[in-house]
Amino acid sequence: MTKHQMDNDEMDHMQMDEHSQMAMNDHSQMGHHDMTMGDMDMGNGHMMHMGNLKRKFWVSLVLTIPILLLSPIMGKQLPFQLTFPGSDWVIAVIGTILFFYGGAPFFSGAYGELASKKPAMMTLITMGIGVAYIYSIYSLIANDIFHVTPTVTNFFWELATLIDIMLLGHWVEMNAVMNAGSAVDALGKLLPQTAHVVGDDGKTTDVNLADLKTGQTVEVRAGEQIPADATILNGSSAVNESLVTGEAAAVKKTKDDQVIGGSVNGDGTFTAKVTGTGDSGYLAQVMTLIQNAQDAKSASENLADRVAGYLFYAALIVGIVAFVVWLGLTNLTTALPVAVAVFVIACPHALGLAVPLVVARSTSLAAQNGLLLRNRDVLEQVGHLKYALMDKTGTLTQGHFTVNHVQSLTDQASDHDILQLMANLESGSSHPLATGILTAAKDADLTVKAAKDAKQTTGVGQFGTIDGTTYGLVAVNYLDKHNLDYDHDQFKSLAAEGNSISFLVTDDQVLGLVAEGDQVKPTAGKLIKALKRHGITPVMLTGDNRETADKVAHAVGIDDVQARLLPEDKEKLVQEYQQRGKVLFIGDGVNDAPSLARADIGMAIGSGTDVAIEAADVILVASKPADVIQFLALARATNRKMTENLWWGAGYNLIAIPLAAGILAPIGFILNPMVGAIVMSLSTVIVAINALTLHLEKID
């Protein structure tokens, strides 16, 4: 069967070509990432650099010390505290400086939230510290100017500690986010700083990586990192791609093999032609995928945002009602701290942090294990999957074909002549079936000459002109469609052995056939068992013949097989299965792109074509079925952590808000603003730690 007719159709081997040179030399292309990980969004685009936040925290902490020594704590004067004439004014001055300096990030964040009409965490924090500051200034005027009795307690102590705790919480959050994204930083450091460029005279010159251009020849020496994506011209070596693909074993690379920039060369030396640099490089694409996944809003995050909005309005209503009730029952001095406690405890900081941290951690783990998430929403759909539709070649089988049988079906040509014609037709193709034919021709010492006007017809076969005659290398359905005669028993016999059969035709005559065999991947059976264990029904969709498809399906444990499909047939089947439940589609090649895009989760496995990669939601860098299991395991672990964090982020509010409002006041318990700040910040730390405990065990 010909390349476009089978399930691995048009495997032009994507390479995802070209590696990232971002971060090389002056690291100019890492600028965006530095901003992402080094700055913190203080609300609707208001960014604060981590160094500024750290400095604000320490300065605010120093300013807090004299306030702790001079100001009553929760309205009580402790033995170690100092008082002297004018001490209240000293506290007010220091408290004012602290309020405007330490509170600045929250003010700008609240402004952004209110400007976008989406009040949330920053607005609540600003409200809390604003009320505390204004009330404290009021107490100073009432006590020291008007000398009211009884004296009004100030909240400078609460104000100072509240600002410190909030700044500390943001600092912890930023550190957590940066740690979660450390895998992205690691990718940016994989490339060397220089490359050995081979000139026309054969001499090598070291050039900065930023100056390396596509098409140049580079020399890669033993033990060096490969500077860019390239195709080997001369030499061979074992290349360690573990940092890039997650595959621990060294991969043997020889002439015409592709190497990925950032991987480590073994003990051999080779020259290679650069195929990708700069933004087009493989790691650059990986970085972009990860950053896009981290930046995009997922369904869970949108849910978290909605919950945070509900909590804001709930806190506002409860706070105002509690303030009015307590004011009516007691006085302003009692009512105000109750309202402040409600506003502080309801800050949705932990809720807003719940999902992003988990996703950042999950995306990093995925990259480390050769799983690239282009659309992280699919993580949340894994639990609803019902079917896994997949190709045969390259997904369940190795995709390395060997010619098992060549036969002439005409008296005018020998078997040798038939193989020669087939090789000439396939000379410009890198498809696995074409590679098998070309390898057989090489072993037979045939001289391959490229056919003229060679073209691939999707879903039909390969056509071209040789010595003035037009030939085609096609699958059996082409013969059936054009009513061309062939030996059906022979076809069934060869196909039953697991061979893919292709026929050489010209005009209305069948000249010969070739039977090529492939091997099932060792872990394919494990994949099918894992899918069934998770309640997902595996389905094979292939363009190959029914006999070969059934043999492979039986070997791996698939019961539902759809064979002899054209590309459009696959997409239609995806739609049909979607009417019964969520569908995962696993494939590669141009012919798979429509199905990858149509499925609820599209997964491009191995080195598929660029078109397939663009259509996929998830990319498996290595062609290992076990990576599909890794993805399912990661998705489930991620969803579990998301759920835990969302419950914690919202759950503590459900308990704390009524306590802050004074629901237990009849038994003598009222939640203090300071305690509220501690509880809120503690929840943030817990959410961050829980996210960072997400891990994924490597599956062989």
Which residues are the active-site residues? 391
CB 645 within 8 A of CB 693: no
Q: Which residues lie below 8 Å from residue 533, measured CB to CB, with a gap of 6+?
A: none
Q: What six digits make up the tokens of 261?
A: 């920039």
Task: State whether residue 618 is helix, strand or coil.
Answer: strand
Instruction: Say which residue the tokens 């979660």 belong to.
Output: 180
Q: Which residues lie below 8 Å from residue 518, measured CB to CB, with a gap of 6+?
A: 393, 397, 398, 399, 400, 401, 432, 498, 500
Residue 171 CB-density burial (10 A; 0-12 exposed, 13-18 middle, 19+ buried): middle
Instruction: Say which residue the tokens 């988990």 belong to.
Output: 358
Report which DSSP code applies to 86.
T
CB 255 within 8 A of CB 191: no
Distance CA 657, CA 675 (A): 12
Q: Which residues lie below 8 Å from residue 31, measured CB to CB, with a gap of 6+?
A: none
Question: CA angle, 641 as apex, 639 and 644 as ends, to 5°?
Answer: 110
Count of alpha carbons within 13 Å of 385, Cβ hemisphere only? Answer: 30
CB 693 within 8 A of CB 361: no
**Helix-then-strand count for the chain, H and E:** 23, 23
CB 278 within 8 A of CB 284: yes
CB 643 within 8 A of CB 620: no
State the SS3 of 392-419.
CECCCECCCCEEEEEEECCCCCCHHHHH
CB 265 within 8 A of CB 220: yes
Task: State whether residue 699 is helix, strand or coil.
Answer: coil
Please give the C-alpha separations between residue 544 and each of 312, 401, 483, 550, 623, in angstroms, as whole numbers: 58, 13, 19, 10, 20
DSSP string covering 404-458, please? Answer: EEEEE-STTS-HHHHHHHHHHHHTT--SHHHHHHHHHHHHTT----PPEEEEEET
Fill in the amino acid letter for 657. I
Distance CA 676, CA 669 (A): 13
Report how far Cα 539 is from the mean position of its chain's Cα atoms. 26
CB 478 within 8 A of CB 436: no
Q: What six digits make up the tokens of 439?
A: 């390898």
Question: CA angle, 235 as apex, 230 and 241 as ends, to 5°?
Answer: 50
CB 561 within 8 A of CB 550: yes
Q: At what angle do helices 349-368 and 626-661 cross, to 10 degrees?
A: 170
